[in-house]
Amino acid sequence: MTTESALDTALSQLRRAVEQLQLSENEWQTLSTPRRVLEVAVPLRRDNDHVEMYKGFRVQYSTTRGPSKGGVRFHPDIDMDETIALAMLMTWKCALTNLPYGGAKGGIAVDPSTLSLTENERLTRRYTSEILPIIGPERDIPAPDVGTDEKNMAWMMDTYSVNAGFSVPGVVTGKPIVLGGSLGRTSATGDGVAISTREALIARDINPIGATVAIQGFGKVGYWAAVALENMGLRVVAVSDVRGGVTGFSSIHDLWSHFLAEGNINAPGTDRLTNEELLHLDVDVLIPAALADSITEKTAVGIKAKIVVEGANAPTTPEGDAILNDKGILVVPDILANSGGVIVSYFEWVQDKQNYFWNAGEVRENLNAIMMKAFKEVETTSNESRVTWREASHMIGVGRVAEAHRLRGLYP
Would you tell me which residues interact with ligand GLU (CB under 6 A)?
69-71, 143, 145, 173, 313, 338, 341-342, 345
Nearest distance, CB of residue 316 and ligand GLU, angstroms: 15
Judge contact between 233 and 194, C-beta under 8 A. no
Element holding 57 (H helix, E strand): strand 51-62
* Residue 70 or 245 with smaller CB distance to ligand GLU: 70
- Torsion over CA: 190, 391, 7, 286 (sign): positive
* Residue 21 or 291 with smaller CB distance to ligand GLU: 291
* Residue 71 or 181 with smaller CB distance to ligand GLU: 71
Q: What angle do CA 275, 191, 340 make, to 5 degrees?
A: 100
Half-sphere exposure of 76 toward its Cβ, with a 13 Å CA cutoff? 5
* Residue 173 or 294 with smaller CB distance to ligand GLU: 173
Could you tell me which of 321, 284, 287 has the C-alpha nearest to residue 301?
A: 321
By DSSP bridging, strand 51-62 and strand 36-45 are antiparallel
* Residue 211 or 332 with smaller CB distance to ligand GLU: 332
DSSP state of 111: -
Nearest distance, CB of residue 132 and ligand GLU, angstroms: 18
Judge contact between 110 and 123, C-beta under 8 A. yes
- Torsion over CA: 125, 126, 132, 135 (sign): negative
How many C-beta atoms lie closer than 10 Å to residue 254's C-beta? 13
DSSP state of 8: H
Three-state secondary-structure class, residue 216: strand
* Residue 71 or 219 with smaller CB distance to ligand GLU: 71
* Residue with nearest beta carbon to ligand GLU: 71
Nearest distance, CB of residue 306 and ligand GLU, angstroms: 25
DSSP state of 215: E
* Residue 23 or 342 with smaller CB distance to ligand GLU: 342
Find the catalytic residue in 55, 69, 93, 105: 105
Nearest distance, CB of residue 164 and ligand GLU, angstroms: 20
User: With 0-12 CB in 10 A as exposed, 13-18 as middle and 19+ as buried, what is 350?
Assistant: middle
Nearest distance, CB of residue 23 and ligand GLU, angstroms: 25
Nearest distance, CB of residue 343 and ligand GLU, angstroms: 8
Judge contact between 353 and 191, C-beta under 8 A. no
Cβ neighbours of residue 106 closer than 8 Å, sequence gap 6 or more: 56, 57, 58, 59, 70, 71, 72, 73, 83, 131, 142
DSSP structure string for 305-359? -SEEE--SSS-B-HHHHHHHHHTT-EEE-HHHHTTHHHHHHHHHHHHHHHT----
- Known catalytic membership, residue 93: no
Nearest distance, CB of residue 325 and ligand GLU, angstroms: 24
List the catalytic residues: 105
